[in-house]
Amino acid sequence: MSLFDKIKEAAFSQFIEVIEWLDETGNTIVYRFPVYQQEIKNGAQLIVRESQAAVFVYEGQVADAFGPGRYTIDGGNTPILSKLGAWKYGFNSPLKSDVYFVSTKQFTDMKWGTPNPIMLRDNDFGVVRLRAFGGYSMRIVDPRAFIKEVAGTNAKFQTEEIETQLKRAVVSEFSDVLGEMKIPALDLASQYKELGEVIRSKINEDFKAYGIEVTKFYIENISLPEEVEKALDKRTSMSALGDPSRYMQFQAAEALRDAAQNESGGAGLGAGLGAGFALGNQMANLFGQFAQNQPQNQQQSTAEVPVTITSEPPGAEIEIDGTYEGNTPSQLSLAPAEYIIRVSRPGYKPWERKVVIKPGTAKTFNAILEKE
């Protein structure tokens, strides 16, 4: 490039008339408008479109932000001018300013998933491992905070650069909510919407300081380990059998039909019938014992006692017999027995009691923690 061309380019760059941004990528959150030597001239037009905000950064500090509209960079109607000390020179001074355009639209179809299984204590299956995945939508609600805390001086900031951080927050809150709500594994599928709303509110608390809001949060699937799914299939099959005695009668009738079709004759028929009835009686006895034990098992499972544990101040960790059970306030279900309840929080002396839970009586324990 010749010296004349360089001078001409610099001259034209110095007299920018329109400052605007048209996003052709669809995933750009922040775009820094290219201004020659960061000098914005008096009389320039600033155009901010719907779903955009323009943020002025003067000498490294966020000076002002503008919503959708058309603005003239002069001393009349632009609040930024009162904050720029160089304006008395007609804005032809060497003082620097940057214009960042921030997209405030909703960024949809963003994905999340658990990279590793989440451990969950379940009343039906004991400790199980869960995997989950879904999607969410987010947007920028405070452009100033986002520029200060996240984007910084990047000339172009896209969703991929914050997606990893958002995913980590989602998985962390997802694990906490599952542990706090104590939803049985068999009932998780009916609680996707409720879980999503709780997780979304917690994520927004974390990212409020960054100027980010998660507008939608979806749980598409929560999967159980293969061995748990097989156990569920067996339980479903047993339920489908219905009355065990009628099922065995049906099996005996099937055995009679098969024996009648046997070409070995009457001896084979008699042997087949004898074996069939013997097996049928044994199976009927087993099913009868199973049916008799069912009410007892159900009675034992319903014999657990609701126990409410609170603390002052709240948010303390609960341990029962050395096992973490969540944070206060929390409602648990404990079988009648003797337990050691420990409530602790950093900066406070632990609260510990040996308690006896009796059948049919709800219990409430309030741990008053003293500062160390």
- Residue pLDDT tens, the chain, 372 long: 554 454 445 444 444 578 888 888 888 889 988 876 666 666 778 899 999 999 888 777 888 888 999 888 764 334 444 344 444 444 444 446 788 899 999 988 888 888 888 888 877 777 888 889 999 999 999 998 888 888 776 778 888 888 888 888 888 888 888 888 888 877 888 888 888 899 899 889 888 888 999 999 989 888 877 777 777 777 666 665 555 666 666 667 677 667 666 655 444 444 444 545 555 555 555 555 555 555 554 454 457 888 899 998 888 999 999 898 989 988 888 888 899 999 999 889 999 999 888 887 788 888 889 888
Confirm if 324 and 268 have CB atoms less than 8 A apart. no
Q: Residue 266: its pLDDT value, please?
A: 46
Q: Residue 278: its pLDDT value, please?
A: 52
Buried b (16+ CB within 10 A) or exposed e, 127-138: ebebebebebbb
In CATH terms, is domain 305-368 a member of 2.60.40.1120?
yes
Q: Residue 139: its pLDDT value, please?
A: 92
Closest CA to 47 of 17, 77, 25, 84: 17
- Strand 330-334 and strand 45-48: the pairing is unpaired
Confirm if 157 and 147 have CB atoms less than 8 A apart. no
- What are the distances in angstroms from CA 168 to CA 138, 174, 182, 269, 292? 15, 10, 22, 68, 49
Superfamily of domain 107-142+158-227: Band 7 domain (3.30.479.30)
- Strand 52-58 and strand 61-66: the pairing is antiparallel
Percent composition of the chain: helix, strand, coil (DSSP 3-state, to 5): 40, 35, 25
Q: Residue 77: its pLDDT value, please?
A: 38
